[in-house]
């Protein structure tokens, strides 16, 4: 299936079977998630925090994204591989198109960018070149410094109307789906009902969008130092790693004591 076929298949999920998306940043995780039937593997710039140890996504570079997208692509998943633009790599339509082509050359089948009306021209430039684009509205992690933290959006009628206007601009420009992050559930449900492409929610309530995306570390419990309030871990990988490492340390220590 080509990237454009996969984007069309995603679009057709509007209002149908919910889309299950997860982030993935490496080869084994991509293979495991794909085997489990995940629809979309998002190589998100959240890798800045959960893989690279930065405080937020503003430290992530194009080089980081290319490295991790290539690792995920080597898994040759059936799932749709979406690669995030890192901050400062899509400031103009020409830059966005050139860097979208780099993300695709690394193995992405679609690219994701943050923002609405202000990004429409860039979305048009990228989609005109045959590269599917996923939008991202609501709380925009790349603006965390200007916003003074991570805040819920869509709380007032004016904020809800602005999100809808942004979503409509992105749809008109050709996106195949839109992530809604930390949007008031009622607003997420309302926007979802108004627009023609699937919405994929995170921190925007349950059953409010056409699908959900989660950071894989939040799902498997492998990043215990920060767990978002909306996360619903299904495993406790950090505990398993600590336990295995402690057993290893004990075994090696005992061995070294036994030797002459």
**Closest distance between ligand KIV and the C-beta of residue 23, in Å?**
4
- Considering beta carbons, is residue 53 or 260 the nearer one to ligand KIV? 53
Sequential DSSP letters for the chain: --HHHHHHHHHTTTTSSPEEEEE--SHHHHHHHHHTT-SEEEE-TTHHHHTT--SSGGG--HHHHHHHHHHHHTT--SSEEEEEPPTTS-SSHHHHHHHHHHHHHHT-SEEEEEBSGGGHHHHHHHHHTT--EEEEEES-GGGHHHHTS---B--SHHHHHHHHHHHHHHHHHT-SEEEEESB-HHHHHHHHHH-SS-EEEESS-TTSSSEEEE-HHHHHT--TT---TT---S--HHHHHHHHHHHHHHHHHHHHHH--
42 binds ligand KIV (CB under 6 A): yes
CB of 243 to ligand KIV, least distance (A): 27
Residue 65 within binding range of ligand KIV, rule CB under 6 A: no
Output 112 or 253, the one with its CB closest to ligand KIV.
112
Of residues 39, 45, 166, 212, which one binds ligand KIV by CB under 6 A?
Answer: 45
> Is-contact 237 222, C-beta < 8 A?
yes
Q: Is 72 in the site for ligand KIV (CB under 6 A)?
A: no
Of the candidates 181, 206, 234, 243, the residue annotated as catalytic is: 181
- Which x/- pattern over 205-234 shows residues binding ligand KIV (rule: CB under 6 A)? --------x-x-------------------
Query: Binding segment for ligand KIV among 5-13, 44-52, 63-71, 168-176 (CB under 6 A)?
Result: 44-52
Please name the residues in contact with 161: beta carbons below 8 A apart, sequence gap of 6 or more. Answer: none
The backbone torsions φ and ψ at residue 41, rounded to the nearest 5 degrees and listed phi first, read -105, 110
- Residue 181 is a catalytic residue: yes
C-beta of 57 vs 127, nearer to ligand KIV: 57
If binding is defined by CB under 6 A, does position 179 make contact with ligand KIV? yes
Nearer to ligand KIV, 125 or 179 (CB): 179
Specify the residue, 13 or 248, whose C-beta has the smaller distance to ligand KIV.
13
Q: Which stretch binds ligand KIV (CB under 6 A): 4-12, 38-46, 103-111, 165-173?
A: 38-46
- Considering the rule CB under 6 A, would residue 201 count as an interface residue with ligand KIV? no
- 150 burial level (CB within 10 Å; 0-12, 13-18, 19+): middle
Nearer to ligand KIV, 42 or 125 (CB): 42
Query: Applying CB under 6 A, which part among 25-33, 37-45, 100-108, 160-168 lies near ligand KIV?
Result: 37-45
Give the angle subtended at the CA of 180 by the CAs of 171 and 143, to the nearest 5°. 100
- Looking at the annotation, which residues are catalytic? 181
Which residues here bind ligand KIV, judged by CB under 6 A? Answer: 23, 42, 44-46, 84, 136, 179, 181, 202, 213, 215
């Amino acid at each position: 299936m080509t990237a454009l076929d996969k984007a069309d298949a995603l679009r057709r999920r509007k209002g149908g079977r919910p889309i299950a998306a997860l982030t993935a940043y490496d080869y084994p995780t991509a293979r495991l998630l794909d085997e489990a039937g995940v629809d979309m593997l998002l190589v998100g710039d959240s890798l800045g925090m959960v893989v690279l140890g930065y405080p937020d996504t503003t430290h992530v570079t194009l080089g980081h994204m290319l490295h991790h997208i290539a690792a995920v692509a080597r898994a040759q998943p059936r799932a749709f591989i979406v690669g995030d633009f890192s901050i400062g790599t899509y400031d103009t339509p020409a830059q966005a198109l050139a860097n979208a082509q780099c993300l695709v050359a690394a193995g992405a089948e679609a690219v994701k960018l943050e923002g609405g009306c202000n990004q429409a021209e860039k979305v048009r430039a990228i989609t005109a070149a045959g590269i599917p684009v996923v939008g991202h509205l609501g709380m925009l992690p790349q603006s965390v410094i200007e916003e003074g933290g991570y805040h819920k959006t869509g709380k007032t009628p004016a904020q809800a109307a602005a999100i809808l206007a942004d979503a409509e601009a992105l749809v008109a420009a050709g996106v195949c789906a839109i992530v809604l992050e930390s949007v008031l559930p009622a607003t997420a449900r309302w926007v979802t009902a108004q627009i023609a492409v699937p919405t994929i929610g995170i921190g925007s309530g349950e059953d409010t969008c056409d699908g959900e995306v989660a950071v894989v570390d939040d799902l498997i419990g492998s990043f215990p130092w920060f767990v978002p309030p909306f996360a619903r871990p299904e495993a406790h990988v950090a505990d398993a790693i600590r336990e295995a490492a402690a057993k290893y340390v004990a075994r090696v220590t005992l061995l070294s004591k036994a030797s002459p």
